[in-house]
Structure 1
Amino acid sequence: MLNDSLVTANIPASDLERARGFYADTLGLTPADENPGGLVYTTAGGTTFFLYETEYAGQAGHTIAQWHVTDVQAEVDALTSKGLQFDHYDMPGVTWEGDIATMGDMGHAAWFKDSEGNIMCIDDMTG
């Protein structure tokens, strides 16, 4: 049943071509497939997400996708060098060093918005 299934994230974009540019130029991602509904991305880590056009992009007030990485600082540095700005949030028990939040046993994280206003996260959480 669902426990044995893969899950694919759906990420909204109000301007699909602008989003394609952001995901390529800033995040370094290339669509694995394109169809009339949008763009399919597959990472080397095996994650798949679908970027589709809708007028409702950027309206979620929460993180809609997370990249689990081994070195948050290296990813933040690489993305900052491409002009990406990171967001800071006031959360209990969280301390900040630059753009990286330390969350005790949960590890480290950094948040940014894509070109469509969707909140994304980079973290080193393992479980």
Structure 2
Amino acid sequence: MLKDRTIMAVLAAKDINRAKDFYRDKLGLEPSESMEDDSLLYSGGNGTGFLIYQTENAGTAKNTQMGWETDNLEAEMEELRGRGVVFEDYDFPGLKTENGVADNDWGRSAWFLDSEGNILNISQRK
């Protein structure tokens, strides 16, 4: 059943055109298709993908909503910073970042916000 199905993340956007510009200009991503006037579908590696749809509820979640796994966190962060992405710094119980990076037993992670206030993540396993 579901364990064998492709998983797709779903993100909210108050302004779908602003989100499209962010994902193109900052992350280097182009939508693979437009499902309706107010939604965009992006394809990722290994059959993964995500949908962005327009809603007034965008930016209200206070948790990580989507992430990418990489084998070179520093290189990804350098490229994204070069495109204007700003990484978040956190300092609360269980999570402290230094220069945007948190290190734990699992690996290393960094977070940033998209144009709609969604919290996105990049991680590298140890």
Establish whether TM, by shorter chain, passes 0.5.
yes
RMSD of equivalent CA atoms:
1.6
Q: Give distance in 2, aligned partners of 1:46 and 1:92.
A: 35
Aligned residue in 1 for 2:28: 28
Q: Secondary structure at the match of 1:12?
A: strand
Residues 109 and 123 of structure 1 are in contact (CA less than 8 Å); yes or no, is this contact kept in structure 2? yes
Q: Secondary structure at the match of 1:96?
A: strand
Residues 11 and 52 of structure 2 are in contact (CA less than 8 Å); yes or no, is this contact kept in structure 1? yes
Deviation, 1:94, is 4.5
Q: Give distance in 2, aligned partners of 1:94 and 1:20.
A: 30
Q: Give distance in 2, aligned partners of 1:63 and 1:123.
A: 12
Aligned residue in 2 for 1:101: 102
Q: Say how many residue pairs are matched.
A: 125
Aligned residue in 1 for 2:113: 113
Deviation, 1:46, is 2.7
Deviates more, 1:17-26 or 1:37-46: 37-46
In the alignment, structure 1 segments of 5+ residues that lack a partner are none
The TM-score normalised by the length of structure 2 is: 0.91
Aligned residue in 1 for 2:61: 60
The one-letter code matched in structure 2 to 1:44 is G
Deviation, 1:47, is 1.4
Map 1:1-127 to 2 at 5 A: 1-36=1-36, 37-92=38-93, 94-103=95-104, 105-125=105-125
In the alignment, structure 2 segments of 5+ residues that lack a partner are none
Q: Give distance in 2, aligned partners of 1:95 and 1:58.
A: 22
The one-letter code matched in structure 1 to 2:24 is A
Q: Give distance in 1, aligned partners of 2:57 and 2:107.
A: 32
The one-letter code matched in structure 2 to 1:67 is W
Q: Give distance in 1, aligned partners of 2:94 and 2:117.
A: 26
Greater strand proportion: 2
Q: Give distance in 1, aligned partners of 2:119 and 2:94.
A: 21
The one-letter code matched in structure 2 to 1:29 is L
